[in-house]
Amino acid sequence: MSFRKDFLWGGACAANQFEGAWDVDGKGVSVPDLCTNGTKDCPKSITTKVEPGRLYPSHEAIDFYHHYKEDIALFAEMGFKVFRTSINWTRIFPTGIEEKPNEAGLQFYENVFKECQKYGIEPLVTLSHYELPYGLVEAYNGWAGEEVIGHFERYCHVVFERYQHLVKYWLTFNEINGGTTQLGTTLSLGTVKGYSGPVNGIQITPQLRYTALHHQLVASAKVVAYAHAHYPQFQLGDMNVFLTAYPLTCDPKDILATQQHNNVLNWFCSDVQIRGAYPSYMDRYFRENGIDLQITEEEKEILKKGTVDFYTCSYYMSTCITTHENSEEVAGNLAGGAKNPYLTASEWGWQIDPDGLRYTLNEIYERYQLPIMVVENGLGARDEKGADGHVHDSYRIDYLRKHIEAMREAAEDGVDLMGYTPWGCIDLVSASTGEMAKRYGFIYVNKFDNGTGDLSREKKDSFDWYQKVIRTNGEDL
């Protein structure tokens, strides 16, 4: 057994990390546009609130806005069946609050999706990928304000209507479970007004964080139910960052700590979005962390009605959990936790674990019995051009090959896998570092952190390799 015949091979990007053109054609300011180290175009009062010191060239990025035809042609050349991208909410509603959408923004995505259609590429669209309009931060403190739900619904209704004949697959919030962690707060919840303390350890209270996340879960359920009612041809998915965690030792205390860690971080959001209700294990967590969510009966009904059709996640790494002191921590790993002695890590401390992907996919499928798509995976690396002027990224091929092998094993185990979109299929701006230097693409973009580069595109070795993988439906790796 191997991959399904209709397996969706492709790649993934997000508007704020690759489009650039941050203020053209009526686009408003979104949260990531402000993470720019005091760029002159940004209101200074805001940049001091949002991670100053972090270079975030989302303003120009790789200028997909003006290169989309060329880029989609390259994706088509690789044989993409699907292209995951996101709609930047502020192109459609510049502050999030307007009653009427911005036609130029709507037209841009129509052009992009039609370009995909030209090559038979199915768009997979994330409705919100770290792109909250800053107007909604000012007005309501981001997702902490219940009012944002209504604004999100209006935005979704408009794009559903406009793209109903061009887009079938939708994801509501990128890595929604990132909002359970302090780290995910700024970009995913937009609650940048309510924190105090050091900018790199953004502190907002657990109460505020989980309130904001609750509003996202309700908003997601509302638009999923709406889409099911109005557009039966749509398929809607959730999207989680799956940070697989193993017990560091066989001490039962480590096993328990890992279970609890996984419940809150890896399962809570998808349990709500797939099973339609808050899981009981969260009651104790909320009690012990001073979180009091007044969930109304009406909201419970909404959550029950708005469950998704398929499960998606990003998967980059795994980590270990332990109750034992003096274990070695992993540096830079998004998941935190203890170092796994059996794994190597990327330069950024992300522990590379293809077997963990097979394990994780089995766990997810066992729990939900829904089709699964791995919508992000890949190796961030500092690509250097060889003497012949080309990037020979055998390390990336090696990483992807092992993860595709693991997916094939999972399919053999019985997991219903529907597709795979490796992250940053064309080089783009890194979300965690704000740099171009951390590259993931099959396509190299001549753009550098010091602002230089002519934005030209070049194929890396991985381009031809991935083309072959797609052509053989994952047989020839």
Binding ligand BGP (rule: CB under 6 A), the pick from 169, 359, 420, 423 is 423
Pairing status of strand 457-459 against strand 443-445: antiparallel
Shortest Cβ distance from residue 250 to ligand BGP (Å)? 31
Nearer to ligand BGP, 404 or 431 (CB): 431
Minimum distance, C-beta of residue 56 to ligand BGP, in the bound complex (Å):
11
Q: Which ranges constitute the DSSP H helices of 119-174?
A: 134-140, 147-163
Q: Which of residues 100-119 bind ligand BGP (CB under 6 A)?
A: none
Question: Closest approach of Cβ 13 to ligand BGP, in Å?
Answer: 9
d(CA 10, CA 33): 27
Of 205 and 433, nearer to ligand BGP (C-beta) is 433
Looking at the Cβ atoms of 123 and 380, the one nearer to ligand BGP is 380
Catalytic residue among 115, 131, 175, 299: 175
Candidate residues 112, 223, 257, 431; the one interacting with ligand BGP per rule CB under 6 A: 431
- Spatial distance between the Cα atoms of 138 and 43, rounded to a whole number of angstroms: 13
Closer residue to ligand BGP in complex, CB, 408/460 = 460
- Of 270 and 430, which CB lies nearer to ligand BGP in the complex structure? 430
* CA 344 – CA 355 distance, rounded (Å): 13
- Dihedral pair phi/psi, residue 237, rounded to 5°: -125, 160
Q: Distances in Å between the alpha carbon of 477 and those of 3, 398, 471, 472?
A: 13, 9, 11, 9
351 forms part of the interface with ligand BGP (CB under 6 A): no
Q: Are strands 169-173 and 122-128 parallel, antiparallel or unpaired?
A: parallel
**Is 241 one of the binding residues for ligand BGP (CB under 6 A)?**
yes
| 432 in contact with ligand BGP (CB under 6 A) | yes
Q: Is 19 in the site for ligand BGP (CB under 6 A)?
A: no
Q: With DSSP H G I counted as helix, E B as strand and the rest as coil, what are the percentages for the chain, rounded to 5?
A: 40, 15, 45
Candidate ranges 65-73, 366-374, 389-397, 424-432; the one touching ligand BGP (CB under 6 A): 424-432
CB-based contacts of 84, cutoff 8 Å, min separation 6: 10, 11, 12, 13, 123, 124, 125, 126, 171, 375, 421
Least separation in angstroms between CB 434 and ligand BGP: 9
**Mutual angle of helices 206-230 and 297-305, in 10-degree steps:** 50
Residues numbered 152-211 forming contacts with ligand BGP, rule: CB under 6 A: 174-175
Q: Output the smallest distance, CB 17 to ligand BGP, in A.
A: 6
Query: Of the candidates 8, 9, 11, 14, which one interacts with ligand BGP according to CB under 6 A?
Result: 14
175 assigned to active site: yes
Choose, by CB under 6 A, the member of 438, 439, 447, 460 that binds ligand BGP. Answer: 438
> Is the Cβ of residue 149 or residue 431 nearer to ligand BGP in the bound state?
431
| Identity of the residue, 75 or 130, whose beta carbon is nearer to ligand BGP in the bound complex | 130
Instruction: Please work out the total of residues on this chain that contact ligand BGP, with binding judged by CB under 6 A.
Output: 14
CA proximity to 318, closest of 297, 289, 280, 345: 345
Q: Which is nearer to ligand BGP, 192 or 381 (CB)?
A: 381
Distance between CA 439 and CA 15 in Å, rounded? 16
Given a contact cutoff of 8 angstroms between Cβ atoms, the answer to whether 14 and 85 are in contact is: yes
Cα separation values, 366 from 243, 314, 357, 361, 418, Å:
17, 18, 14, 8, 16
Q: Is 376 a catalytic residue?
A: yes
Q: Are 305 and 276 contacting, i.e. CB atoms less than 8 angstroms apart?
A: yes
From 115, 131, 299, 376, the catalytic residue: 376
Q: Which of 314, 318, 340, 360 binds ligand BGP (CB under 6 A)?
A: 314
Q: Which stretch binds ligand BGP (CB under 6 A): 51-59, 80-88, 250-258, 429-437?
A: 429-437
Provide, rounded to whole angstroms, the least separation between the CB of residue 218 and ligand BGP.
Answer: 22
Give Cα separations from 398 to 145, 177, 431, 477 (angstroms).
45, 29, 23, 9
Catalytic residue numbers read 175, 376
Residues forming contacts to ligand BGP in the complex (CB under 6 A) are: 14, 17, 174-175, 241, 314, 376, 380, 423, 430-433, 438
